[in-house]
Structure 1
Amino acid sequence: MEKLWEAHGLSEEEYKKIVSFLGREPNNVELGVLGALWSEHCSYKSSRAVLKKFPTQAEWVVQGPGENAGVIRVDDDVWVAFKIESHNHPSFIEPFNGAATGVGGIIRDVLSMGARPIALADSLRFGELTDQRTKFLVKGVVKGISSYGNSIGVPTVGGETFFEGSYRTNPLVNAFCLGILPANRMYRARATKVGQLLFLIGSSTGRDGIHGAVMASGEFGEDAQEKRPNVQVGDPYFGKKLIEAVLEAVERGIPVGMQDLGAAGLAGSASELASKSDMGVELYLDKVPLREEGMNPYEILLSESQERMLLVVEEENVKYLEEIAEKYHLNYAVVGRTTDDKRFRAFFNGELVAELPVNLIVDEAPVYSRPVKEPSYLKELRDFDQELLPEVDIKEALIKLLSSPNVCSKAWIYTQYDYQVGTNTVIKPGGDAALLRLKWVEKPELHSKKGIAISSEGNGRFVFLNPYEGGKYIVAEACRNVACTGAVPLAITDCLNFGNPERPEIMWQLLKAVEGMSEACRELNVPVISGNVSLYNETVEKNEVRNVYPTPVVVCVGVLEDIERFVDIAYQAPGELILIGDLKRPSQIDGSEYLKVVHGLVKGDVPKVDLGKERTLIETLSFLIKNDIVKSAHDISSGGLLVNVLESLFTSKFGAEIELYSDERADIFLFAEMPTRVVVSVEQSKSDQLKDLIEERGLDWMYIGRIIPERVIRLSYNGELVFEEDVETLKEVWERSLEEAL
């Protein structure tokens, strides 16, 4: 028989701590509040100590971790707010609504900082496409993202999608949002004095999402579909009205502070706001607008119904918020006030139904120092010699790679998203990074000439093989992608997607990945200003335990000084192709898509990132692009060098003659996914200038061929023609593979 505390996601030890702290047994409503706020999803009880390793400050950081989103300074007039969140468990149970409400939730996180949301990105992981359930999940998640983002009018400008067996029953759905706000007009989730009122605005409250935070903090079993009531249902049209209403209130200077209603609903929003304000709070649950009859205090407090915000307001300004709510046809009510006793009280029809110390709810959640143990699988996987791989036909291997769902075009996904709404998108999905104009809606006189670049990365396979080096690799690649547009990387937000932290091997993966990421962030001067942790991505099914690959997803945000001076991956004119970066180390095929797709192996160690050279390369790319020395830039990533060249050809109208000379095996050099390597195109007249600049900065260069007018690719290796093929023939394979697989 299930114990009372187990129904609320608490352990017996945690329940005993609560009883000891209170000096009494909590009632059911109080237990519901504590179960939700002490869940892994809300309290980070397994990861809080590890997260302290991240660097979080820089002179351009306005707000680091601890608020609904992080904020950085673009210039004296403009700041941007951004964050990434997970909606993994809900998206497996109910893919459409799970993904849609993930988008809605991250939009409100950014909105609550007083920022107008202007861009979305999504990072997705699914099982292999031979599985019918996976196909169902992919279609449902993509439809959910597109339905919500397109309807609410915020463009989805970037992201990434990977397919791997470990995600079969635990897909990862991570949603990112970026918003723009005037400098010095940032809001926080706090009141400024006792007696201020809590104004609930937005949608009415229903029973959807109750126990959502608890559900998101547990592993899955064979009863996953029974948890469908824990998944919220979103309404993007209500969400759009809420955005405009809140921003109008902000423009008029009416609210004092703001907090969105997400995990743990009103209980979570009010208690966190009280804690940050160093105050108490009392709530009047019978005032909350309801959409269902007969809802009890427990349900009202813990509902995770979407499209709701809690605004802190002075009593004399309530009438102005009421006018705005009625103008936009939103539900509203004053549902509470701040108090001076640092206690959380909830009333229903005049009766006190819950009373708890705020610090018990927010601060006293246990922080666990979980045991760690290096996984035994690593020794076997690292016993690998790439020189023993059988030789392959390069063209046949290339066709297999272009057909792989991890390399082929993701246009089937991103063409379902409206990535142009708002007319800010300069570089659309499909390149290394998205690029946006900074254009005001409310203040057109403050349009900035600067641009914002956004790149999402999260190679779970590399982190599985070596969490420390994999963590470094992911941060470096996200920053390099931003630099390939000409922008300077400034900060990151991350979503740490891992398995069950109660397993020492999983906790070791988390610790080492964060240590690697932290080192890269310090060396590349990109602090972590916001983020999310998603643990318990584990399925126990018929005595089989499956954890996802350790998958930290990183979104890097950078600033471009002049929006008119950028490049993307497409070749613009005939010229030379130069490989630049860290080229003297032998290429490694370890962990690559080539090794998995062509040889059926996930083995080896992760190519190590020389962070000093990586930083130099990033700085050099910005200089080259700002001074119009290169015409395109594209970093080496999934598929390696040959895929890199073809991706740039596919988005242009040219062909290429590739002439390579190397002591390495052709397949290893062509398909290795080495860090700190970028292919740039340059006019022949500027080629020597480029090479001199690269050498002056202590980096390496290699001439790899030239862009030609004919729409063919010819590849020669050490003077021998390897293959010649029509670019359009290869492009067709690359373009149609994902849709055919689905």
Structure 2
Amino acid sequence: MLETEIKVTPELAADHGLTAEEYARVLAILGREPNLTELGIFSVMWSEHCSYKSSKVYLRRLPTRGPQVLQGPGENAGVVEIGDGLCAVFKIESHNHPSYVEPFQGAATGVGGILRDIFTMGARPIAVLDALRFGPIVAHDHASPEAIRRNRRILDGVVSGIAFYGNCFGVPTVGGEVQFEPCYAQNPLVNVLALGIARKEDLFFARARGVGNPVIYVGAKTGRDGIHGASLLASAEFTEESKQKRPNVQVGDPFMEKLLLEACLEAMKTGAVVAIQDMGAAGLTCSTCEMASRGGTGIEIDLARVPQRETSMTPYEIMLSESQERMLLVVERGREQEVLEVFRKWGLDAVEIGRVTENGLLRVLHHGRVAAEIPAHPLAEEGPVYQRPIAPPAARAEKQGRERYAAFAAEGADLTENFTRLLASPAIASKRWIYEQYDHMVRTNTLMGPGAGDAAVVRIKGTKRALALSVDGNGRWCYLAPRVGAMHAVAEAARNVACSGARPWAATNCLNFGNPEKPEVMWQFSEAVDGIAEACVALKVPITGGNVSFYNETLGKSIFPTPTLGVLGVLEDASRTLGMAFRAEGDVIVLLDGELAGAPSSATGGEFLSSEYAKTIRGVVAGAPPAVDLAAERRLIDTLVALAGEGVLRSAHDISDGGLAVALAESCFASEGLSAEVSLEGREPAEWALFGERGARAVVSTSPELLARLHTIAAQYQLRAREIGTVTRGEFRVQYNGRVVVNAAVESLRDAWARALERALTTR
């Protein structure tokens, strides 16, 4: 049956994901029944993925303004000023659902899509980071051997896809994080952040202006891959049928994207480009209607002119295709040949397919007939917005305290053995097997790459400055207490940036949640957004953009609520970059603690139950995350930046997953054969002191000669600085209240930590 012969009915609209109320709004906007192409256009633009219809009311709570912010949410990426007339352009996006259906291509095209968002703004991409979540890859958490093998295959495919696209495109993958929980087994999370640099006067925006200006299609030809990727894959729960949706996953070509990057940046320099947008989710549909809506204009295109790699494609297919490596440009009338020649020089398709109009309509022609005619602004900006019901889960995670801890705490436990097991757990173990597949030095801007420090650091060529980036999140904590867990995500990312010596400057977020039609999921979402907002205000890091990924749920089982925060920092003097590695034997190890001296400790048995140690060693996921003291976090950040700026520190490493003991060990592992001798005192159990994950703390090292200056600066910020040990070349030894509780050769600990992930992934 021909597309024109298909009658649109409420049932067909429902099959496209539109509710009865939404379809009624379509009829009201058009004043008639839509044809099939128009129905498809509405279905993708009003999908959860494109319209943010369930999240929009909550996202308005986020702080998005600041003197450094040039562009907040609403464009392809956020933009902040970083000095010397330069801007940082950055954003994080998800590609979760496609990466489950087809891990390699799903992850690869996730990288490609976020890179296009960056260079669409006129910026050259200089770095990529990823935040990944998978199901168990070792025989824990009651996972079956078949499930473990599947999780390993997904991880291998995702990592290979990221490495393939980034390495071939020529952008360094400089950092990230990887976590493992049973809830991600059939719903992996693939969040990718990209950063670019542009001069302020060279920024471009996606606003179609100038009636009569030509609309030009550039890049790869359009195929049938990715059709309904936004609405069918990213805006619905997974079922058994999802496994059959590989055709909905796009196929990427990083070499084509590299050509597209260079051609776009060259075309922008001509001064003839008025507006530009990539064809990402919803493809040609989204790029045309959003550019027209933002510009207060209309756009008319002729699909017969669109380069196609498959025969007999219908208007429905062309408009909804999500084929990769494509862009849409608006250029000054009379200068179109100038722009077309640039793209042809780079061997790319470049075709004038339409023009900007004054009637506010998205008008689509196909071989002389009108295939679609829709008002652009209602389509792009007036989709449904829901205030969905919210309610806490009926069975909230129990908030246990000291009594519950006492039930499983074992006096006399072999902490050296437990510590070794913790270091070898997938969550704590070295991720070298993953990041060694990434080229993190291409373009020679990387000052600190994966495994060297708490944040990635890239130089800004031509200046003294550098930029630091960190991505962080803790789904388990957000499951136990969404608001507090989300605050921790912001605080840890900012803390990591400060440990590199940089001042936290701005943030981007990727909010990964379950089915928004469930009140408990929307309660988690609302709580998490409020937590992010509170932390961002306190730490002075405005949100410049991001992404919401709902429907991360398979066969009714949801992921942990997982907000991922990416924080960007500015380092005024790149030569002051700090890593985590201890540097010299005899240096003093100091614990910086944001909690005010004399204040009662916030540590509790309940919070210890939520730690990585409790999960790995005790098999417990319960309690509550540690309380967040944002004032303490601010004191710590200010102190770290001041200490780094004066060159007082040799190293800095924040305390997070695995607690103080893991932070100390990682600073040893990153060094050249150094170890640590540490002595601690306290009233809490030794396990709490060593493995508790309370925030607002960092382990730093300094020379004995600069120790007094460290104390002076810490006192200025009302920060506790306690000397807890010395950098040595002997055993890794920790005393607690005068008793040795951990004693091991640093090389044996390093071996357990360094090889665990590789062993797990290469064992069949």
Q: Same fold (TM over 0.5)?
A: yes
1:10-30 CA distances to partner (integer Å, 9 max, x unpaired)?
112211221133221110000
Of 601-610 and 28-37, the range deviating more from structure 2:
601-610
**CA-CA distance at 1:532 after TM superposition:** 0.3
| Cα distance in structure 1, aligned partners of 2:95 and 2:436 | 22
Find the residue that maps to 2:335 and give its secondary structure.
helix
Match of 2:20 in 1: 12
Partner of 1:648: 667
Contact 2:658–2:691, Cα closer than 8 Å, also in 1: yes
Residue 50 of structure 1: aligned partner: 58
- 1:359 is aligned to 2:377: yes
Residue pairs, 1:364-375, within 5 angstroms: 364-375=382-393
How far has the Cα of 1:692 moved from its partner? 3.0
Q: Verify: 1:438 aligned to 2:460, yes or no.
A: yes
* Cα distance, 1:586 vs structure 2: 4.1
2:461 matches 1:449:
no
1:407 positional shift: 0.3
Matched, 1:566 2:574: no
Moved more, 730-739 or 716-725: 716-725
Alignment pair present for 1:106 and 2:126 = no
Once the two structures are superposed, the pairs formed by residues 172-251 of structure 1 within 5 Å of their partners are 172-215=189-232, 216-251=234-269
2:590 is matched with which residue: 578, 601, 626? 578
* 8 Å CA contact retained: 1:566, 1:626: no
**1:498·1:510 contact (CA, 8 Å) conserved in 2?**
yes
Matched, 1:399 2:420: yes
| Partner amino acid, structure 2, of 1:474 | A
Could you tell me whether the CA contact under 8 Å between 2:609 and 2:620 is conserved in 1? no
Q: Could you tell me how far apart the structure 2 residues matched to 1:586 and 1:558 are?
A: 28
- TM-score calculated relative to the size of structure 2: 0.94
**SS at 2:524's partner residue?**
helix
**Residues 20-31 of structure 1 correspond to what in structure 2 (within 5 A)?**
20-31=28-39
> Match of 2:484?
469
Structure 1 residue 630, shift from structure 2 partner: 1.2
SS in 2 for 1:325: helix
Deviation per CA, 1:641-679: give whole Å up to 9, x if none. Answer: 000000000010211111111111101110011110001
Alignment of 1:707-718 (within 5 A): 707-708=727-728, 710-718=729-737
Q: Which residue pairs with 1:323 in the alignment?
A: 341
Aligned to 1:485: 500
- SS of the residue corresponding to residue 735 of structure 2 reads strand
TM-score norm. by structure 1 comes to: 0.97
Q: Is the 8 A contact 2:497 2:504 kept in 1?
A: yes
Matching residue within 675, 683, 687 for 2:703: 683
Deviations 1:183-204 (A, max 9, x none): 2221000123211111111101
Q: CA deviation at 1:734?
A: 0.4
Is the CA contact (8 Å cut-off) linking 2:474 and 2:489 kept in structure 1? yes
Measure how far apart 1:616 and its partner are.
Answer: 1.5
Select which of 147, 150, 171 maps to 2:164.
147
Which of 657, 666, 674 pairs up with 2:686?
Answer: 666
Instruction: Give me the whole-angstrom Cα distance separating, in 2, the residues matched to 1:12 and 1:740.
Output: 52
CA–CA distance in 1 between the matches of 2:554 and 2:10?
A: 20
Q: Which SS does the other structure have where 1:564 is aligned?
A: helix
Aligned partners of 1:572 and 1:138: how far apart in 2? Answer: 34
Query: Is the Cα contact below 8 Å between 1:711 and 1:728 reproduced in 2?
Result: no
Residues in 1 aligned to 2:759 and 2:353: alpha-carbon distance in whole angstroms: 52
Which range moves more in the overlay, 371-380 or 423-432? 371-380
Matched-pair contact (CA < 8 Å) for 2:454–2:653: yes
1:416 matched to which residue of 2? Answer: 437
Amino acid across the alignment from 1:350: G
Post-superposition shift, 1:455? 0.3
Partner of 1:345: 363
User: Which stretch shows the higher mean deviation, 511-520 or 686-695?
Assistant: 686-695
Corresponding residue of 2:616: 597
> Contact between 2:267 and 2:339, CA under 8 Å: does it hold in 1?
yes
CA RMSD of aligned residues (A): 1.3
**Deviation digits for residues 230-276 of structure 1, max 9, x if unmatched?**
10000000000000000111122221111000011101100000000
Which amino acid in structure 1 is aligned with residue 745 of structure 2?
D
Task: For residue 612 of structure 1, report the CA deviation from its aligned partner.
Answer: 1.2
CA deviations on 1:566-603 (whole Å, 9 max, x unpaired) are 21100111211110123452434131100100110111
User: Counterpart of 2:184 in structure 1: which amino acid?
Assistant: Y
Counterparts of 2:749 and 2:377 in 1: how far apart (Å)? 61
Structure 1 residue 2 displacement after superposition = 9.7
| Residue equivalent to 1:634 | 653
- SS of the residue aligned with 2:576? coil
Question: CA separation in 1, counterparts of 2:336 and 2:699?
Answer: 58
Following superposition of structure 1 onto structure 2, how do residues 215-294 of structure 1 map, counting pairs within 5 Å?
215=232, 216-294=234-312
Aligned partner of 1:668: which letter? W
SS for the counterpart of 1:175 is: strand
Change (3 A) 1:357 1:564: same
The alignment covers a number of residue pairs equal to 730
Give SS of 2:443's match. Answer: coil
Q: How much identity, in percent, do the aligned residues show?
A: 48
Which position in structure 2 is the counterpart of 1:732? 751
User: Using the alignment, how far apart are the partners of 2:169 and 2:680 within structure 1?
Assistant: 49
**Residue 77 of structure 1 is aligned with which of 85, 96, 100?**
85
